[in-house]
């Protein structure tokens, strides 16, 4: 690993900076060259690396599963077909065990969240310098300063990505809560539980916090674990070459468990939250 002219602190900051495209205060659009410019863009900014990698991995997921479906055979199933079917059976078992309602969308939603998050998490196993250095070289071909070309390759280390997914799940929770229980039932659930109608303010506070905690916990749990894992890989990359592999390889092997576990936890919580949204209290 070569850090070039970057100090250790600058190297870490460089790897934690997103490739940001947005609107500058003077009105023109472009790529931020540092964290200050990215901050000045405010809401009118896009993390191009997060959006790009998540989109490509989403397309890869759809392509592979569609390919397995088109080539599915009862008489002579391929190894890949058996692998895909084992994943689908695993998801189906989890949905049947945790979701008691009737909604055909829950199983596909669980499958999508598990596979998509797993693929995004798996990018954490790519050596930390490979893709960022490639991006710097490509940027240099177009006249950009390599030190101002950023690339974060793990979408789930970006809180914008994890909160985007959790907010989408939260909106589904609200939609099905109202659809299954009605407006009155949903409002009653927030205001009458757990202490009855005479403690309405306390009920609303407790149930409101509980409701809002769902997307926050989903987003921060995934982000925190993946961010910490990526940080350890970056710190290992700062060490001499002969030490790097002795530390990063065992961590990468252990991190395979974290990558899978975080995708599984996110999926399981989605199923549980959707089940709670479909429950009708009397």
For the entire predicted model, the pTM comes to 0.93
The pLDDT value recorded for residue 281 is 64
> Which whole number is the average pLDDT over 225-240?
94
Q: Which residues are catalytic?
A: 217, 221, 225
Q: What is the dihedral of CA 213, 216, 220, 222, to 10 degrees?
A: 90
Backbone angles phi, psi at 149, to 5 degrees: -105, 115
The crossing angle, in degrees rounded to 10, of helices 106-122 and 241-278 is: 170
Q: What is the pLDDT of residues 192-229, one digit of tens each?
A: 888 888 888 898 999 999 999 999 999 999 999 999 99
Cα 66 from Cα 56, distance rounded (Å): 15
Q: Looking up tokens 């084992």, which residue turns up?
A: 86
CB atoms within 10 A of CB 73: 8
Cα 169 from Cα 167, distance rounded (Å): 5
Q: What is the pLDDT of residues 36-50, one digit of tens each?
A: 999 999 988 999 999
Structure tokens at 122: 């798996």
Count CA atoms closer than 13 A to 172's CA, side-chain side. Answer: 19
Residue among 122, 93, 97, 112 nearest 267 (CA): 112
Q: What is the pLDDT of residues 120-169, one digit of tens each?
A: 999 999 999 999 999 999 998 888 888 889 999 999 999 999 999 999 99
Q: What is the pLDDT of residues 61-110, one digit of tens each?
A: 999 999 999 999 888 899 999 999 999 999 999 999 999 999 999 999 99
């Amino acid at each position: 690993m070569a850090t070039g002219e970057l100090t250790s602190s600058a190297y870490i900051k460089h790897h934690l900076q997103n490739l940001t495209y947005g609107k500058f205060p003077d009105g023109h659009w472009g790529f931020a060259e540092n964290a200050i410019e990215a901050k000045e863009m405010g809401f009118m900014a896009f993390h191009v690396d997060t959006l790009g990698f998540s989109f490509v991995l989403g397309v890869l997921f759809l392509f592979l599963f569609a390919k397995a479906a088109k080539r599915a055979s009862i008489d002579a199933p391929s190894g890949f077909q058996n692998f895909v079917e084992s994943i689908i059976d695993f998801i189906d078992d989890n949905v049947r065990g945790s979701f008691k309602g009737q909604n055909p969308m829950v199983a596909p939603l669980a499958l999508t969240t598990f596979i998509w998050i797993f693929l995004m998490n798996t990018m954490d196993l790519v050596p930390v310098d490979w893709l960022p250095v490639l991006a710097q070289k490509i940027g240099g071909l177009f006249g950009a300063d390599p030190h101002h070309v950023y690339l974060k390759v793990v979408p789930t280390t970006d809180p914008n990505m994890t909160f985007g997914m959790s907010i989408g799940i939260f909106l589904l929770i609200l939609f099905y809560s109202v659809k299954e229980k009605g407006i009155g039932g949903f409002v009653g659930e927030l205001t009458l539980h757990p202490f009855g109608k005479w403690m309405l303010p306390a009920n609303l506070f407790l149930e409101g916090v509980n409701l809002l905690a769902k997307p926050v916990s989903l987003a921060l749990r995934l982000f925190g674990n993946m961010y910490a894992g990526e940080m350890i890989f970056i710190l290992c990359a700062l060490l001499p070459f002969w030490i790097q592999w002795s530390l990063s390889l065992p961590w990468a092997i252990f991190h395979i468990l974290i990558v899978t576990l975080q995708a599984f936890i996110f999926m399981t919580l989605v199923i549980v939250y959707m089940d709670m949204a479909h429950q009708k209290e009397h």
